[in-house]
Chains A and B, each alone.
Chain A
Amino acid sequence: IAGITQAPTSQILAAGRRMTLRCTQDMRHNAMYWYRQDLGLGLRLIHYSNTAGTTGKGEVPDGYSVSRANTDDFPLTLASAVPSQTSVYFCASSDSRTSLRNEQFFGPGTRLTVL
């Protein structure tokens, strides 16, 4: 693994189903993030984690939950998917302890369609 990986690459999901998007980084970054990207809206922060064991809400957290059991993994769960959650989801990480503070590194994205 080099950098950030996300799985699955894409998924079609029936409304009401539960779905977990996976994100793993091997850079030992302390902070991780989940964004959704929608046409004309740029990227919007869903949830973040500044360090293992802590999480926080971003701009659009409703309908999503996260956990950060260790440094490397930051899964995003949709408990009961709705069509408005159709989007491209990006995971990112950063190391706020070094001069790279605030620079975020992005995964390749997961394209989710909720029908």
Chain B
Amino acid sequence: AQSVTQLDSHVSVSEGTPVLLRCNYSSSYSPSLFWYVQHPNKGLQLLLKYTSAATLVKGINGFEAEFKKSETSFHLTKPSAHMSDAAEYFCVVSIVGTASKLTFGTGTRLQVTL
């Protein structure tokens, strides 16, 4: 069984300040982990992914995430928020090698204020 918990449903930051979106996962097997972003009325876009290579993963638009097995976490960070980062972010877990078993978190809405 696998599951993912996004610890905050809503995060608000000021432009230029760091972003931290928290995600904890549970998986019986070696997981793949993803962060997807969804801008208003749009589809989902892949930000970054961890698939058992380097534990610090760099993605698009300056985002990165670190896989910490001991903490079962995969938190998403960015050093400096931009207004364009305002969106919904989804943490996703999958068992490596299983194409049909993505499990989504419930999402974190990021608000960026001036």
Contacts and interface: CB of A to CB of B under 8 A. Distances in A.
- Which of B36, B51, B99, B105: most chain A CB closer than 10 A? B99
A74 interface: no
Interface string B12-46: 00000000000000000000101010000011111
Question: What class of interface size applies to chain B in its complex with A?
Answer: 20 to 34
B48 to A, nearest CB: 10
Given A90-B44, A108-B42, A109-B43, A101 B106 contact: no
A48 B100 contact: yes
Contacts of A43: 44, 90, 104
B70 interface: no
A96 interface: yes
A31 B100 CA distance: 8
A106 B88 CA distance: 15
Nearest to A96: B99
Nearest to B9: A40
Interface of B: 9, 32, 34, 36, 42-46, 49, 51, 90, 94, 96-100, 102, 104-107
A102 interface: yes
Given A94-B99, A107-B43, A102 B106 contact: no
Given A45-B100, A105-B46, 14 more contacts: A42-B90, A43-B90, A45-B102, A50-B99, A90-B43, A92-B44, A96-B99, A101-B32, A102-B34, A102-B94, A102-B98, A103-B49, A106-B44, A109-B43
A41 B21 CA distance: 17
A90 B38 CA distance: 12
A22 interface: no
A94 to B, nearest CB: 6
A42 B104 contact: yes
A62 B111 CA distance: 35
A41 B103 CA distance: 11
A16 interface: no
Contact of B46 (A35, A40, A103, A107): A103
A86 interface: no
3 closest cross-chain pairs (CB), A and B: A96-B99, A42-B104, A106-B44
